[in-house]
Amino acid sequence: MQVVLIEGDGIGPEVTQAACRVVAAAGVRIDWVKAAAGIPAAEQHGEPLPEETLEMIRRYRVALKGPCTTPVGKGYRSINVRLRQGLDLFASVRPVRTMPGVKTPYEKVDLVVVRENTEGLYSGMEHQVVPGVVESVRLVTRAAAERIVKFAFELARHGGRRLVTFCHKADVMRLSDGLFLECARTVAEDYPFIQFEEKPIDNVCLELASDPTQFDVLVMENLFGDVISDLGAGLVGGLGLVPGANYGNRFAVFEAVHGSAPDIAGQGLANPIAVVRSAALMLEYVGHREAAVKIERAVAATLQNGVGLTRDLGGTGTTATITEQLIKNLGA
């Protein structure tokens, strides 16, 4: 089977290589087709997201991606945003679950953040009206709002989940989130067997910090989803642990929640677990469920044993030592 591999930049090459090793050790033969994105692509091709990379994902349908740096306030537009929009990967899914052996303030957190991935304030439409005044468009369309809420309900239905929480700020952004909320209510009517609730995003933050176990599936627009994903990662042990997937109707790109971590890049200190678990989600997507379960078990055993863990998990190990443990524990 061929799968596109985008190593990205920063810690991307280190953690994606670790993930490829774990997948191979889990017994799945994948012919990785390398495609460029991020700083190396900008340096080599003069373009951080070459059209060939998008074409390769269109051809092979599935990709595993490392993080890509986006310069702040200057330079090129976010590769991630362009990739998601270019392939219409409208649903970002981030499962946030308590992991064995990882000490956190709350036990038994098991929620999924479903984020609309193509619109909102990340639509990329902003301009300077006059010097000192800038306008950004917060795009909401009925079609995109309905499809992401439907996606969240379908995910709940197939995953045996009972509650979908729609997060919004419709009291202030009355037109944009007003439309989104109206769409969420309409879609919810088709799923009377799943509980539906609507909550202002600020209340959701408070409740996530005080008792995250009350949530199940959370669905929201793009920017809120970006923020809540990191908050969710913080609740269960940090960015090094939480995987992610971007799904469209035709293509899927799997990547961790975390970024390129320039502060630790190239030092062999990055925790590869988030990308390893993203690879497990990829395996599940392409029908290798057994291998995906095996990898998840190996992650659990590695965290539980506490041997070779990286610094973000309180250990003194490296990307290499934790990867060795993951491979060793595949038989666990």
Which spans of this chain sit near ligand NAI (rule: CB under 6 A)?
Answer: 11, 15, 67-70, 80, 239-240, 255, 258-264, 270-271, 274, 312
Q: Which is nearer to ligand NAI, 181 or 308 (CB)?
A: 308
- The minimum distance between CB 226 and ligand NAI, in angstroms, equals 8
User: Active site residue: 226, 247, 294, 312, which one?
Assistant: 226
Q: How far is the CB of 316 from ligand NAI (least distance, A)?
A: 13
Amino acid identity at 34: K
C-alpha 202/C-alpha 192 separation (Å) is 26
CB of 245 to ligand NAI, least distance (A): 12
Decide if 191 is catalytic. Answer: no
Q: Tokens 């045996």 label which residue?
A: 160
* 328 flagged as catalytic: no
The dihedrals phi and psi of 292, each to the nearest 5 degrees, come to -65, -45
Query: From start to end of the chain, where are the E strands?
Result: 2-6, 31-34, 62-65, 91-97, 110-116, 126-130, 133-136, 163-168, 195-200, 217-220, 245-247, 252-254
- 248 touches 90 (CB < 8 A): yes
- CB-nearer residue toward ligand NAI: 90 or 180: 90
Nearer to ligand NAI, 227 or 300 (CB): 227
- Nearest CB to ligand NAI, comparing residues 45 and 157: 45
Q: Report the half-sphere exposure of 267 (CA within 13 A, side-chain side).
A: 12
Is 169 assigned a catalytic role?
A: yes
The nearer residue to ligand NAI, 147 or 258, going by C-beta atoms, is 258
Least CB distance from residue 229 to ligand NAI, whole Å? 9
| Triad 177, 81, 215: Cα angle to 5° | 50
Taking the complex as a whole, how short is the minimal distance between the CB of residue 173 and ligand NAI, in angstroms?
24
Residue found under tokens 């995953």 = 159
Q: Minimum Å distance from CB 184 to ligand NAI?
A: 26
Handedness of CA 122, 125, 129, 130 (dihedral sign): positive
Choosing from 65, 150, 169, 294, the catalytic residue is 169
Pick between residue 38 and residue 212 the one whose CB is nearest to ligand NAI.
38
Rg of the chain over CA atoms, in angstroms?
19
Whether 202 sits among the annotated catalytic residues: the reply is yes
Catalytic residue among 171, 190, 202, 211: 202
CB 116 within 8 A of CB 94: no
Question: What counts of helices (H) and strands (E) characterise the chain?
Answer: 11, 12
Q: Is 196 helix (H, G, I), strand (E, B) or coil?
A: strand
Q: Residue number with the shortest CB distance to ligand NAI?
A: 259
The catalytic residue among 122, 177, 294, 312 is 122
Catalytic site positions = 122, 169, 202, 226
